[in-house]
Chain A
Amino acid sequence: MDEIRVPIAADADIVVARGEGRALAGRLGFSRTDATLIATAISEIGRNILVHAGAGEVAIGGAAEDHRVGVMVVARDQGPGIADVQRALREGYATGAGLGLGLPGTRRLMDEFDIETQVGHGTTVTMCKWRERDPLEVLQERPGVDG
């Protein structure tokens, strides 16, 4: 499936990236609420790129399995990396200090959330939200069922 790549270098790019995420979620049949959860997660992760690395990229693509479809988001930067990922993912860390990581909250918005980071080399956040397809929808897609 096609992948949309949004370069992140200014705050307007964050708006573009979350808009693309919302649009793709809509095309894949996600509810308005799920589309907003995805857009919010992209907004957070896009801002992390801008604040901590200065620039990077958000790639948004569709994923399909037998009984579910997904919106896959990969956010990459070549920034300073995160020295202590476990700490950054811990509840309460950063939120009060205003560092703006917001990673625990972002993780809760998505079904899958993974961080690869290397100090001095950058960070890649991969996250996905799934939608279970109902049996009728799956059936209709089989060749020969409706022509």
Chain B
Amino acid sequence: MPVPILKQGSYLIASIQSALTDSEVLELRDDLADRIGRYRSRGIIIDVAALDVIDSFVARSLRTIARTASLRGAATVIVGIQPDVAVAMVQFRLDLEPLLTALDLEEALALLDRRAMGRERDHG
């Protein structure tokens, strides 16, 4: 089942609905890369609350999404990492750099808005 991606203004919101297979993770990566260009998005929010695990493959894929998005001028924010998943990531020593994280959607939107304002200010 593909991950639904919503367009909200200049942001894309991907909300994962269930555990994903590796190929579904790669599909999400490609879908996002494609849509960033199509919609000229400035930010991506990925809601991972429904993911049962974040293992090395998922972490690497999320990092790839963030780097790809960043090359195309968009920031990526991961929201909804569950407490038990967070513990597993720490114990595994998985790193999500250069990803931004936020507790929920609202916080992620605020984070992206602040970044967008900062960018406008920097560029006059």
Contact = CB atoms under 8 A, between A and B. Distances in A.
A32 B52 CA distance: 11
Interface residues of A, number: 25
A19 B22 contact: no
Interface string B82-99: 111101100111100000
Contacts of A76: none
Given A19-B19, A22-B52, A108-B93, A37 B87 contact: yes
Interface in A38-54: 39-40, 43-44, 47
A74 B53 CA distance: 19
A11 B94 CA distance: 21
Interface residues of B, number: 22
Interface string A106-134: 10110000000000000000000000000
Interface in B94-124: 94
Contact of A37 (B82, B83, B91, B94): B91
Interface of B: 19-23, 52-57, 60, 82-85, 87-88, 91-94
Interface of A: 11-12, 14-15, 18-19, 22, 32-33, 35-37, 39-40, 43-44, 47, 95, 98, 100, 102, 105-106, 108-109
